[in-house]
């Protein structure tokens, strides 16, 4: 994506991006409350849209490039960009839910892969590893590093665990645009790519497959699936490049409070 302008954000702009990113976390937590075998992804989509609009924001994905819904809901072998539908989720499924909002002119964009009922041990390991990839990628989002340091950290961890790293879809800059420069691949070489400067806001979003890294697009023009039909996981945070430590703008804390409550009862 050489030549595309990179927008470094002021602290005032970062405050607005934080507000949008936190609203995504709040929305995903409301979705989590309803998530159980039998619910449809269209029902989850309706919940998300209501939370977003009740908070003075608009869904960030709906209408973006013609996408029809508020959430991308990607079940099992679906990697990303799944379209909500009327098919009930089943015990043992996983569903990656990606949510964007726009508020005060700035986007938030975050994703979480949820377990539906009880999932297999190998899928649990895929989810845990993908979460770890996200954390390791975020740790590299510091001033003076380069984009390739993020991708390298993600790729190494996933491949060491024997999982496939999706290359066709990438993270991105975030601001007044949903997909700003630079691209943030989940693979790469240390010391390669755009140098990271303070105030750069990135959506880091590893997409990791249980099997091979190959993916294809379904004929709906949106849904990306694994070529081998094995499950895929996706977690996404919005972060600000800072000196020493990245600042994470989005949060999974509210999602995890809901999930813990669900487990206890």
Strand-pairing partners, residue 80, are 224
Quote the least distance from Cβ 145 to Mg ion, whole Å.
Answer: 20
Quote the least distance from Cβ 107 to Mg ion, whole Å.
Answer: 9
Query: Whole-angstrom Cα distance, residue 174 to residue 153?
Result: 21
For position 132 contacting Mg ion by CB under 5 A, the verdict is no
Determine contact, residues 23/108, Cβ cutoff 8 Å. yes
Query: Whole-angstrom Cα distance, residue 75 to residue 186?
Result: 21
Which range binds Mg ion by CB under 5 A, 95-103, 144-152, 227-235, 254-262? Answer: 95-103
For Mg ion, the closer of residues 132 and 238 by Cβ is 238
For position 77 contacting Mg ion by CB under 5 A, the verdict is no
Q: Which of 17, 51, 134, 203 binds Mg ion (CB under 5 A)?
A: 203
What does 124-164 look like in DSSP terms, one character per residue? Answer: HHHHHHHHHHHHHHHHT-BTT-BHHHHHHHHHHHHHHTTPE
For Mg ion, the closer of residues 47 and 99 by Cβ is 99
Query: Whole-angstrom Cα distance, residue 183 to residue 186?
Result: 10
- Name the DSSP letter for residue 192: -
**239 — phi, psi (to 5°)?**
-135, 150
For position 111 contacting Mg ion by CB under 5 A, the verdict is yes
Q: How many residues bind Mg ion (CB under 5 A)?
A: 5
Quote the least distance from Cβ 178 to Mg ion, whole Å.
Answer: 7
For position 170 contacting Mg ion by CB under 5 A, the verdict is no
For Mg ion, the closer of residues 161 and 169 by Cβ is 169
Query: Whole-angstrom Cα distance, residue 125 to residue 161?
Result: 9
Which has the closest alpha carbon to 235: 122, 127, 149, 100? 127
For Mg ion, the closer of residues 111 and 246 by Cβ is 111
Which has the closest alpha carbon to 98: 228, 217, 221, 207? 207
Which range binds Mg ion by CB under 5 A, 90-98, 118-126, 220-228, 257-265? Answer: 90-98
For Mg ion, the closer of residues 191 and 235 by Cβ is 235
For Mg ion, the closer of residues 107 and 163 by Cβ is 107
Determine contact, residues 258/29, Cβ cutoff 8 Å. yes
Question: What is the per-residue binding string for Mg ion in 223-262, x denoting contact by CB under 5 A?
Answer: -------------x--------------------------
For position 138 contacting Mg ion by CB under 5 A, the verdict is no
For position 98 contacting Mg ion by CB under 5 A, the verdict is yes
Residue whose entry in the numeric block shows the structure tokens 């960009």: 81
Q: Which residues sit at the interface with Mg ion, rule CB under 5 A? A: 98, 109, 111, 203, 236
């Amino acid at each position: 994506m050489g030549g595309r302008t990179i927008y470094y954000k002021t602290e005032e702009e970062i405050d607005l991006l934080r507000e949008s990113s936190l609203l995504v976390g709040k929305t995903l937590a409301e979705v989590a409350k309803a998530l159980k075998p039998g619910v449809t992804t269209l029902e989850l989509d309706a919940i998300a849209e209501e939370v977003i609009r009740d908070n003075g924001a608009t869904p960030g994905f709906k209408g973006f490039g013609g996408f029809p819904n508020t959430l991308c809901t990607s079940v099992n072998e679906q990697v990303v960009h799944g379209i909500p539908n009327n098919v009930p989720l089943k015990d043992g499924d996983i569903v990656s839910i990606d949510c964007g909002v726009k508020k005060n002119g700035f986007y938030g964009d975050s994703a979480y892969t949820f377990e539906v009922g009880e999932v297999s041990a190998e899928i649990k390991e895929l989810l845990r590893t993908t979460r770890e990839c996200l954390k390791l990628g975020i740790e590299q989002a510091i001033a003076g590093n380069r984009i390739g340091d993020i991708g390298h950290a993600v790729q190494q961890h996933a491949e060491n665990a024997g999982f496939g790293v999706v290359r066709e879809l990438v993270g991105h800059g975030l601001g007044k645009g949903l997909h700003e420069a630079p691209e943030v691949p989940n693979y790469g070489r240390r010391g390669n790519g755009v140098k990271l400067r303070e105030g750069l806001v990135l959506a880091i979003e590893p997409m990791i497959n249980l099997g091979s890294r190959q993916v294809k697009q379904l004929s709906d023009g949106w849904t990306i699936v694994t070529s081998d039909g094995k499950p895929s996981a996706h977690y996404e945070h919005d972060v600000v490049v800072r000196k020493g430590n990245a600042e994470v703008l989005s949060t999974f804390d509210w999602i995890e409070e809901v999930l813990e409550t669900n487990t206890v009862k």
